[in-house]
Structure 1
């Protein structure tokens, strides 16, 4: 019994001796911090988050599906902001984009950066005072191909053939080489409340944007309704499209005539 008591006392002494060793690193850190402060320095602070306009030049080659050669779209003679790209009109064979990064990390053609940001700022009042988020802007051909193939597989899982799935997928996701997102003029916008989309439909034209895919125009645009998808066409065209309740395809046909 006496041996057990002595063993217990030795263990307690060892524990008491170990505490100073454990505290030594903490004491050293506190001493270094005090010395750094006394020397007139302060610890570095995290910089404030800013979203500067970052210009990223990109040369893009159109990548139409099925290996078909890219052709100049019918709107090739139009101003850059009226370039028509849809399921029947591919991207120009080659074109250059200078991209600008927007809050959230997505990128768009730098020429639509300022009107886009003005529109998003104005929309805050109908979005619980929050800046609406662009969740998809410019897309590479690889990104568009991935989204398109994912949609095809989704329909295949429902029992459709590859051909049927590919045709149905085009109503929701453009085939690579046939997407406005690859131009850098289109954005998909998310809001804190659905009211944002009502505001955009009624006000986006003031900033040069249009509600690109109304459900009533699916047979003309080839795309199902997407309340989140907005496309830059310039203020003049946007105002006419809004006032006449037409889509971009109809507008381009009218100005040709």
Structure 2
């Protein structure tokens, strides 16, 4: 019996060593062909790091592409205390001025978020679904459709904003319709269209707008595509 146990343990060790060698080989291969690939972290997770090669305005952050650890942002505080990347502030202000000139009353409900704030929002969403009777695993799946995991939220970049209406003066529908039609003129795109959820992994969010710059926003708007599809174009490879 003792010999059998030793033999069995020895075989397990060999299998584990082989698996580890395979994983290292895969990681090395990805590193050679993809400079943005990151090796497994100490907690056992492997994250693909979003590339900044196409410019800060076109960095693609989503469930598969994490914000670089050394990503830095200079913030400008808005009148209501929310903050955004200083580089998008001029165009954001122009867009708001144009919307207000059209009789709409709107505001930035959410701008820049820290990693800690994003984690808090996710935890709260999971807890809410658990309280509705869902299992913890199911609650996490449901929450992920609405709240991005820390490190994968565009709000942590400072170039995405949630825009809502002051409903005492303007309806949400009117504000969302105006944004959908005009935001590209100021460099913003509706980041999560209802017909692109299978690609973005996020349900329809008519309030979430992401800055990419006027030229790219106009192309994305004209083609009726999402950022993932746009960045998959050969010109970005």
For the superposition of Structure 1 and Structure 2, which TM-score range results when normalised by the shorter chain?
0.7 to 0.9
Matched, 1:236 2:215: yes
Residue number in structure 2 paired with 1:38: none
Asked whether the 8 Å contact 1:186–1:230 carries over to 2, the reply is yes
Asked whether the 8 Å contact 1:70–1:93 carries over to 2, the reply is no
- The match for 2:158 among 184, 191, 206 is 184
Matched, 1:143 2:120: no
Residue number in structure 2 paired with 1:80: 56
Matched, 1:159 2:139: no
Asked whether the 8 Å contact 2:47–2:65 carries over to 1, the reply is no
Shift of 1:166: 1.0
Stretches of structure 1 lacking an aligned partner (at least 5 in a row)? 1-63
- The match for 2:45 among 48, 64, 68 is 68
Give me the TM-score of the superposition, normalised by structure 1.
0.70
Shift of 1:87: 1.2
Residue number in structure 1 paired with 2:194: 215
Please give the secondary structure, in 2, of the residue aligned with 1:166.
Answer: helix
Give me the TM-score of the superposition, normalised by structure 2.
0.76
Matched, 1:247 2:226: yes
Give the direction of change, closer, same or farther, for the CA distance of 1:94–1:67 in structure 2 (3 Å limit).
farther
Q: Distance in 2 between matches of 1:222 and 1:71?
A: 16
Please give the secondary structure, in 2, of the residue aligned with 1:76.
Answer: coil
- The match for 1:103 among 67, 72, 79 is 79
Matched, 1:225 2:201: no
Asked whether the 8 Å contact 1:140–1:182 carries over to 2, the reply is yes
Give the direction of change, closer, same or farther, for the CA distance of 1:129–1:156 in structure 2 (3 Å limit).
closer
Asked whether the 8 Å contact 2:186–2:213 carries over to 1, the reply is yes
Stretches of structure 2 lacking an aligned partner (at least 5 in a row)? 1-40
Residue number in structure 2 paired with 1:125: 101
Shift of 1:70: 5.2
Residue number in structure 2 paired with 1:200: 179
Shift of 1:214: 0.6
Give the direction of change, closer, same or farther, for the CA distance of 1:129–1:195 in structure 2 (3 Å limit).
closer
Moved beyond 2 Å, runs of 4+:
66-72
